[in-house]
Amino acid sequence: MAAPTTKRKLRPGGLVFFALLSLGALYWTPYSFWRPAPETILAPAVKVQVAIVPSGDPEFVRTQEGVRLYFAGRVKYLFFSGAGYGGDSAENLAKYAQKAGVPRGQILVDSQAENTYQNMLAARRIAQKHAFHQAVVVTSGAHARRAFLVARALGVSEVLWVSPVVARGDSRLGFAREWLKALRYAYLGHLAWREALGG
């Protein structure tokens, strides 16, 4: 007669181990793959019509990059978008650019958007209104891939690039958060699942 079989139960220590392993994978993995594809990054000699600069820039590093591109003759207009939090609204980013010497006539502003999807919807409206066919999204490194993918999915412009800049949120945790936001966007239908999963 065969001996009765017993089900093996996972001990509490094993549960903790697998939980830590899962958290570790979430923390480390996006840092290695959730970056803009090299072919989407603005090449050194490329010139475009408008730089799209979303709010979420309390240190003005995105704005500084947009201003740099403008004075380098690589963009004709700066478009700032976002209601902002803690003083980094599109209006404040635009004021910063003006103080840096960018003429007010070369600055476009949307102060209503409250997230990346709305930023890019506003960018598409601006592009259609001004007949912009070439654009670059200027944002932080962790945010760059999601912002670019949303802009591309919405058809913001025929030619689209991204110009990532180093910002305080570009930590492993920052990349993990951005990846989770991308998965949420896929769930909402703003992105394809393949893109949200890094494909």
- Give residue 42's pLDDT band: very low, low, confident or very high (50, 70, 90): very high
Domain ranges of the chain: 45-169
How large is the average pLDDT for residues 167-176? 85
Global pTM value: 0.86
How large is the average pLDDT for residues 173-196? 92
CATH 3.40.50.620 corresponds to the domain 45-169: yes
Contact (Cβ atoms closer than 8 angstroms) between residue 114 and residue 86: no
Contact (Cβ atoms closer than 8 angstroms) between residue 193 and residue 78: no
pLDDT given at position 18: 47
**CA-based R_g, the chain, Å:** 21
pLDDT given at position 152: 96
Least trusted range by pLDDT, from 5-19, 137-151, 173-187: 5-19
- Give residue 54's pLDDT band: very low, low, confident or very high (50, 70, 90): very high
pLDDT given at position 12: 57
